């Protein structure tokens, strides 16, 4: 495939005034952004932004490499989708590149992610974050919930992520949904695909969240009907998919949904009022076949078609 020289977004820096400042770089072919991305931030409806952080990963680090690899493999996909019978060609979305995060500093990294989220929201656009570990979801959800007071979070994951703390740490990829529950209320969280938790997490989920563990396809349509009028934030941990289809993740958990099922879910999500989304925990170094990154890119493509 040939394309003319273009300007693509590089590293993002956040200014004190809350504006996004882009360091633009020239490339012979626009392969730094997600496939089909617009050159215009101003005219976009959805803004893709990478958060390359894996500071609290407890098993296999490497998710910080997820955003760049997902962008790279996206060029192996068609811009047209046979699932949606639609194309990215007539959608308006912008890939702003990756945030520049302070290595080793969890709190400052989350502050930067929240500030970037606020910038996007203030400009009337929908943030779509690519992780990175799952903790990156917390500052994004915090920003989105300040704009949408009745926000609902739909959480796809193999793990409950509801620990009160993990090894003494309040902020971790294992505690992220507990922090979200404290922020927006557990009954505003819908959890799908969970098949791994502590006993305490299981009790907490059954009492405090809307909990649909293991195979969830039978519940999705009815639940989504109830949520049609709500502002929705979607947080999708790629390990909700069985490692047979998505081995490239930090904490793989056998017994998950198939690649086909998660793609079916994207079509159903498209009927909801999505005001923010993230896709997290792709760790490319554990998947030489790149099928995890390809699946993530395909999920993103389908969501962009429905959202953009």
pLDDT at 82: 97
Q: CA-to-CA distance for 268 and 271, rounded, in angstroms? A: 6
> Using alpha carbons only, what angle is made at residue 299 by residues 61 and 172, rounded to the nearest 5 degrees?
30
Q: Which residue has the higher pLDDT, 1 or 64?
A: 64
Average pLDDT over residues 4-19: 46
Confidence category of residue 61, pLDDT binned at 50, 70, 90: confident
* Contact indicator for 67, 51 with CB cutoff of 8 Å: yes
Which residues are CB-contacts of 19 (< 8 A; sequence separation ≥ 6)? 119
Determine whether the annotation assigns residue 271 to a binding site: no
Q: What percent of the chain has pLDDT over 70?
A: 90
Looking at the DSSP bridge assignments, the partners of residue 237 are: 280
pLDDT at 29: 35
* Contact indicator for 87, 133 with CB cutoff of 8 Å: no
Task: With H, G, I as helix, E, B as strand and everything else as coil, classify residue 250.
Answer: coil
Determine whether the annotation assigns residue 98 to a binding site: no
Task: With H, G, I as helix, E, B as strand and everything else as coil, classify residue 125.
Answer: coil
- Which architecture, in CATH terms, is 31-307? 3-Layer(aba) Sandwich (3.40)
Q: CA-to-CA distance for 262 and 6, rounded, in angstroms? A: 33
Q: How many other C-beta atoms can be found within 10 angstroms of the C-beta atom of residue 122?
A: 12
pLDDT at 103: 87
pLDDT at 12: 61
Domain spans of the chain, in order of start: 31-307
Confidence category of residue 308, pLDDT binned at 50, 70, 90: confident
Model confidence at 93: pLDDT above 70: yes
Determine whether the annotation assigns residue 159 to a binding site: yes
Model confidence at 43: pLDDT above 70: yes
DSSP string, 252-282: --SS-B-HHHHHHHHHHHTTSEEEEEEEE-B
pLDDT at 11: 56
Determine whether the annotation assigns residue 86 to a binding site: no
> Using alpha carbons only, what angle is made at residue 247 by residues 296 and 158, rounded to the nearest 5 degrees?
80
pLDDT per residue over 124-137, tens digit each? Answer: 999 999 999 999 99
Across the chain, mean pLDDT equals 90
Model confidence at 3: pLDDT above 70: no
Model confidence at 1: pLDDT above 90: no
Q: What percent of the chain has pLDDT over 90?
A: 83
Model confidence at 21: pLDDT above 90: no
pLDDT per residue over 229-242, tens digit each? Answer: 999 999 999 999 99
């Amino acid at each position: 495939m040939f394309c003319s020289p273009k300007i693509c977004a590089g590293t993002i820096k956040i200014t004190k005034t809350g504006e996004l400042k882009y360091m633009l770089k020239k490339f012979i072919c626009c392969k730094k952004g997600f496939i089909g991305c617009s050159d215009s931030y101003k005219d976009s409806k959805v803004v893709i932004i990478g958060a390359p952080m894996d500071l609290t990963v407890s098993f296999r680090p490497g998710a910080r490499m997820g955003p760049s690899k997902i962008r790279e493999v996206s060029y192996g996909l068609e811009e047209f989708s046979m699932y949606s019978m639609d194309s990215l060609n007539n959608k308006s979305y912008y890939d702003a590149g990756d945030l520049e995060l302070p290595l080793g500093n969890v709190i400052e990294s989350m502050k930067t992610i929240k500030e970037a989220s606020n910038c996007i929201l203030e400009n009337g656009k929908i943030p779509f974050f690519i992780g990175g570990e799952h903790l990156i979801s917390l500052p994004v959800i915090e920003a989105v919930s300040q704009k949408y007071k009745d926000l609902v979070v739909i959480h796809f994951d193999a793990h409950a992520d509801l620990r009160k703390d993990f090894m003494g740490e309040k902020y971790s990829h294992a505690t992220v949904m507990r922090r979200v529950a404290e922020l927006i209320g557990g009954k505003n969280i819908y959890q799908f695909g969970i098949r791994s938790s502590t006993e305490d997490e299981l009790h907490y989920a059954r009492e405090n969240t809307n909990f649909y563990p293991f195979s969830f396809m039978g519940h999705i349509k009815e639940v989504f009907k109830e949520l049609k009028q709500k502002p929705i934030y979607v947080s999708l941990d790629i390990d909700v998919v069985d490692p047979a289809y998505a081995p490239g993740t930090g904490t793989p958990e056998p017994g998950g949904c198939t690649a086909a099922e998660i793609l079916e879910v994207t079509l159903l999500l498209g009927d909801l009022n999505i005001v923010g989304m993230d896709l997290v925990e792709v760790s490319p170094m554990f998947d030489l076949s790149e099928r995890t990154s390809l699946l993530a890119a395909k999920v993103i493509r389908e969501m962009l078609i429905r959202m953009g």
